[in-house]
């Protein structure tokens, strides 16, 4: 119960601080103001780096955009700071969208490199534009007025900063706990899976980059009106690097890590700036040596930063009552129209897939009907998984046609194919190991919701979110994993993780299910219940395409079988025919003579 009180106590303490601190402690108010400004930037990096797996060294430049936009517009044209806030955020958005668009399509390291270059050039730009006062800077920025009151003192401004920061924290937490939040959390290590579940990952990367930039911009706007003066120095690349250090040292995967990191670095900097020059007998910014070493140490030894370490310590002292994990009842989500049993839903015609000079699939044709289990078997390297990737759009075919529900789908992105009602599992399980089973399965239902990050930040998505979670829970119960609903997906044995993948695929409400080795790693009884589940789905009219090595499982379940060897179709028929086919025996056992 003590844990519950920590947050309200923290907020009350924050609110009272400027009131109780004596005049002589003005320094601490200033320190806290800066801490809040830095934390807001670091918060954006938590979303971008910790959650999304991208990063930027150029956040200081976005801070500069916010600061210079308001400094220039308020001093040169007398605009209201509230109007310039809008202009600043809009400018930042445009710049971030542009930078994101050109760098995010390539490997993950192009964005940070691009931000380094952009951070440097913007810094020099600020220092060279005459309207911005060159390297001397711009002074005489008016204070912000709120309801007729001008926020002139540090103590008054404190509230504006910390309210902005707390709003940022709440909005970020809300966002992460939503449909878009799950998609964003999948960006780090789950791009292929997320795309196959219909998530436009490139778009979400741009979204979080833009949100992070906007946080930085607001911080800059606040900074300009707190200082009432701007010059280029605080927007240099060095500062941009320091922001990243704050986020990483504090705990880049955690919203509160941003505050912790900003606090630590800000205080450490004050202290080291006093201490080091005395110690070394020279003046200079030697604190960066310590920061850099701490950074290297953290990345070697505690890559998740200090916040998780603190949480573990607190949890030992103040064990929390078991969290009441529950899924609220909610209306079922609408289901898609289903084809009639017996209709051909998937028609693969002469599909060929080449990788450079290697032909992985050579002119393979087969079809799947609604309400049947079709098994694709063959020795290792026969091209079965390649065929799966061709059908599901993960890796489009070189030649040939794939028709799904009568429409050509070859060449479409996997998320487009998913949208049409095809859902799949992966041979190498692609779950997000630290997320709960429920959250993992809910990603499967991504396309069945429409509320996005703006709704989520303001909690306007709760009704739909309840329905999505209830749907995910239903599918988890259906596959028999109800007891693991709130466990981290990575903590399950591999066989059960494969079943979670099936639940996730089912959450998409597909009419064709592609299962890549679903029975691998299962025990006998688990295989039995999986077969039972698949029979039930078949009975409901689902088409199932299955790659599997366990022959007992396949022979007992499949309606029809296609055997592949060397990327070509070797045989097709009923299980009994296949088992007696000498060519198949030859393919499996081989032989040279």
Partner 1 sequence: MDFQIALLLGQDGLTNGAIYALLALALVLVFAVTRVIFIPQGEFVAYGALTLAALQAGKLPATLWMVVALGAVVVAVDGAIALRHGAMRRLPRMLALNLGIPLLLWALLAHVETAGLSLIAQIALTLCIVVPLGPMLYRLAYQPIAEAPVLILLIVSVAVHVVLIGLGLLFFGAEGTRTPAFSEGSLELGAVTLQYQTLWILAISALLILALYAFFGRTLYGKALRATALNRTGARLMGISTTMAGKLSFTLAALIGAFSGILISPITTLYYDSGFLIGLKGFVGAIIGGLVSYPLAAAGALLVGFLESYSSFWASAYKEVIVFTLIIPVLLWRSLTSHHSEEEE
Partner 2 sequence: MSARPVLLEAKDLSVSYGKVEALHKVSLTIREGEIVTVIGPNGAGKTTLLSSLMGLLPGQGEVVYLGRTLGNDVEVEERVGFGLTLVPEKRELFADMSVADNLLLGAFDRYRRGDRDFDGTMNEVYGIFPRLRERAAQMAGTLSGGERQMLAMGRALMAKPKLLMLDEPSLGLAPLIIREIFRVVASLREMGVSVLLVEQNARAALQVADFGYVLETGEVSLEGPSRELENDPRVIEAYLGLGGKH
Q: How many residues bind partner 1 (CB under 8 A)?
A: 53
Q: Which does 325 bind (CB under 5 to 8 A by kind): partner 1, partner 2, none?
A: none
- Under the criterion CB under 8 A, does residue 516 sit at the interface with partner 2? no
> One symbol per residue from 550 to 569: x for binding partner 2 (CB under 8 A), - otherwise; what is it?
xxx-xx----------xx--
> Residue 381 touches which of partner 1, partner 2, none (CB < 5 to 8 A by kind)?
partner 2
Q: Does 291 bind partner 1 (CB under 8 A)?
A: yes
Look at the chain and count its residues: 593
* Residue that the structure tokens 């996997």 belong to: 414
Smallest separation (angstroms) from partner 2 to the CB of 254: 24
Residue 288 C-beta: closest distance to partner 1, Å: 4
Under the criterion CB under 8 A, does residue 289 sit at the interface with partner 1?
Answer: yes
Residue of the chain from 316, 358, 450, 582 that contacts partner 2 (CB under 8 A): 358
Residue 316 exposed, middle or buried by CB count within 10 Å (0-12, 13-18, 19+): exposed
- Nearer to partner 2 by C-beta: 550 or 559? 550
Residue 490 per-residue DSSP state? G
Does 494 contact partner 2 by CB under 8 A?
yes
In the bound state with partner 1, the residue whose beta carbon lies nearer, of 48 and 144, is 48
The most distant pair of C-alpha atoms in the chain lies apart, rounded to whole Å, by 96
C-beta separation of 361 from 352 below 8 A? yes
Please tell me whether residue 189 binds partner 1 under the rule CB under 8 A. Answer: yes
- What torsion, rounded to 10 degrees, do the Cα atoms 176, 177, 181, 182 define? 130
Q: Are 254 and 50 in contact (CB under 8 A)?
A: yes
DSSP notation for 354-412:
EETTEEEEEEEEEEEETT-EEEEE-STTSSHHHHHHHHHTSS--SEEEEEETTEE-TTS
* Contact pick of 281, 334, 357, 582 for partner 2 (by CB under 8 A): 357
If residue 423 lies in a helix (H) or strand (E), which one and from where to where? strand 422-424
Please report how close the Cβ of residue 133 comes to partner 1 at its closest, in angstroms. 14
Q: Given the rule CB under 8 A, which of 6-14, 286-294, 410-418, 516-524 is the region that contacts partner 2? A: 516-524
- Where in 43-62 is the site for partner 1 (CB under 8 A)? 49, 53-55, 57
The correct pick among 192, 311, 327, 551 for binding partner 1 (CB under 8 A) is: 192
The yes or no reply on residue 379 touching partner 2 (CB under 8 A) is yes
Residue 292 binds partner 1 (CB under 8 A):
yes
Q: Which is nearer to partner 1, 99 or 443 (CB)?
A: 99
Q: How far apart are CA 505 and CA 240, in angstroms?
A: 41
When binding is defined by CB under 8 A, the residue of 28, 34, 159, 286 that contacts partner 1 is 286
Among 161, 244, 544, 547, binds partner 1 (CB under 8 A): 244
* CA nearest neighbour of 131 among 63, 47, 72: 72
Q: Specify the residue for token string 């760098």.
A: 103
77 binds partner 2 (CB under 8 A): no
- Selection from partner 1, partner 2, none that 245 binds (CB < 5 to 8 A by kind) is partner 1
Radius of gyration of the chain (CA): 29
Residue 380 site contact among partner 2, partner 1, none (CB < 5 to 8 Å, cut-off depends on kind): partner 2
Q: Give 410's Cβ-side CA count (13 Å radius).
A: 19
Residues 541, 472: Cα–Cα separation, whole Å:
20
Q: With residue 547 as reference, give the H or E element that holds it.
A: strand 543-547
Angle of helix 462-478 versus helix 437-444 axis, rounded to 10: 100
If one asks whether residue 428 binds partner 2 (CB under 8 A), the answer comes out as no
Tokens 């899924």 -> residue: 327
d(CA 189, CA 53): 8
Among 30, 112, 327, 490, binds partner 1 (CB under 8 A): 112
Nearer to partner 1 by Cβ, of 195 and 517: the residue is 195
Q: Does 83 bind partner 1 (CB under 8 A)?
A: no
241 binds partner 1 (CB under 8 A): yes
- Order of strands, sheet of 422-424, starting from the edge strand that comes earlier in the sequence: 422-424, 512-516, 543-547, 373-377, 560-565, 568-573
- For every residue of 232-300, DSSP letters joined together read SGGGSHHHHHHHHHHHHHH-TTSHHHHHHHHHHHHHHHHHHHHHHHHHHTS-S-THHHHHHHHHHHHHH
CB of 50 to partner 1, least distance (A): 11
Residue 95 or 554: which CB sits closer to partner 1?
A: 95
Handedness of CA 273, 154, 218, 79 (dihedral sign): negative
**Which one, 143 or 490, has the nearer CB to partner 1?**
490
What is the rounded CA–CA span in Å between residue 416 and residue 422? 9
* Residues in touch with partner 2 (CB under 8 A): 356-358, 379-381, 490, 493-494, 517, 520-521, 524, 549-552, 554-555, 566-567, 579, 585, 588-592
* Residues in touch with partner 1 (CB under 8 A): 49, 53-55, 57, 99, 102-103, 105-110, 112-114, 116-118, 120-121, 124-125, 128, 189-192, 195, 201, 238, 241, 244-245, 248, 280, 282, 284-289, 291-293, 295-296, 299-300, 303, 394
């Amino acid at each position: 119960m003590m844990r519950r009180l920590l947050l309200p106590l923290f907020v009350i303490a924050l609110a009272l601080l400027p009131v109780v601190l004596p005049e002589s402690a003005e320094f601490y108010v200033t320190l806290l103001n800066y801490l809040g400004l830095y934390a807001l930037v670091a918060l954006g990096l938590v979303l971008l780096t910790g959650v999304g797996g991208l990063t930027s060294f150029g956040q200081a430049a976005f801070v500069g955009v916010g600061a210079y936009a308001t400094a220039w517009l308020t001093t040169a044209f007398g605009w209201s700071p509230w109007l310039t806030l809008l202009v600043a955020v809009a400018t930042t958005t445009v710049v971030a969208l542009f930078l994101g668009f050109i760098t995010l399509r390539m490997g993950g390291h192009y964005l940070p490199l691009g931000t380094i270059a952009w951070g440097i050039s913007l810094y020099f730009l600020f220092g060279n534009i005459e309207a911005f006062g060159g390297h001397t800077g711009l002074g005489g920025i008016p204070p912000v007025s709120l309801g007729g009151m001008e926020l002139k003192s540090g103590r008054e401004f404190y509230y504006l900063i910390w309210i902005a920061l707390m709003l940022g924290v709440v909005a970020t937490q809300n966002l992460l706990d939503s449909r878009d939040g799950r998609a964003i959390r999948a960006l780090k290590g789950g791009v292929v899976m997320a795309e196959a579940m219909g998530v436009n990952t490139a778009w979400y990367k741009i979204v979080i980059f833009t949100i992070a930039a906007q946080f930085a911009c607001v911080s800059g706007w606040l900074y300009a009106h707190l200082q009432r003066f701007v010059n280029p120095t605080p927007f240099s690349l060095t500062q941009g690097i320091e922001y990243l250090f704050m986020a990483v040292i504090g705990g880049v995967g955690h919203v509160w890590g941003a505050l912790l990191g900003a606090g630590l670095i800000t205080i450490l900097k004050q202290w080291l700036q006093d201490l080091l020059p005395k110690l070394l007998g020279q003046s200079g910014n030697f604190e960066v040596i310590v920061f850099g070493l701490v950074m290297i140490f953290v990345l070697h030894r505690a890559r998740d930063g200090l916040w998780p370490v603190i949480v573990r310590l607190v949890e030992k002292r103040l064990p929390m009552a078991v969290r009441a994990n529950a899924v609220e009842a909610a209306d079922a989500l609408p289901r898609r129209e289903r084809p009639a049993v017996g209709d051909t839903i998937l028609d693969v015609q002469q599909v060929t897939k080449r990788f450079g000079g290697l032909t992985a699939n050579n002119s393979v044709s087969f079809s799947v009907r609604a309400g049947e289990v079709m098994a694709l078997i063959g020795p290792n390297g026969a091209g079965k998984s390649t065929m799966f990737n061709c059908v599901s759009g993960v890796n489009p075919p070189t030649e040939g046609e794939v028709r799904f529900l009568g429409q050509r789908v070859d060449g479409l992105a996997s998320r487009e194919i998913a949208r049409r009602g095809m859902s799949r599992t992966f041979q190498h399980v692609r779950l997000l190991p630290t997320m709960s089973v429920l959250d993992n399965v809910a990603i499967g239902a991504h396309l069945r919701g429409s509320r996005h990050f703006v709704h989520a930040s303001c909690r306007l998505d709760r009704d739909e979110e309840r329905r999505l979670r209830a749907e995910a829970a239903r599918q988890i119960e259906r596959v028999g994993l109800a007891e693991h609903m709130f466990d981290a997906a990575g903590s399950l044995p591999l066989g059960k993780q494969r079943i979670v993948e099936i639940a996730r695929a089912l959450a998409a409400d597909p009419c064709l299910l592609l299962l890549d080795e679903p029975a691998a790693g299962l025990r006998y009884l688990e295989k039995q219940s999986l077969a039972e589940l698949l029979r039930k789905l078949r009975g409901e009219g689902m088409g199932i395409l299955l790659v599997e090595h366990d022959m007992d499982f396949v022979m007992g379940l499949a309606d029809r079988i296609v055997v592949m060897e060397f990327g070509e179709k070797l045989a097709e028929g009923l299980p009994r025919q296949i088992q007696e086919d000498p060519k198949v025996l030859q393919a499996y056992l081989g032989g040279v003579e």
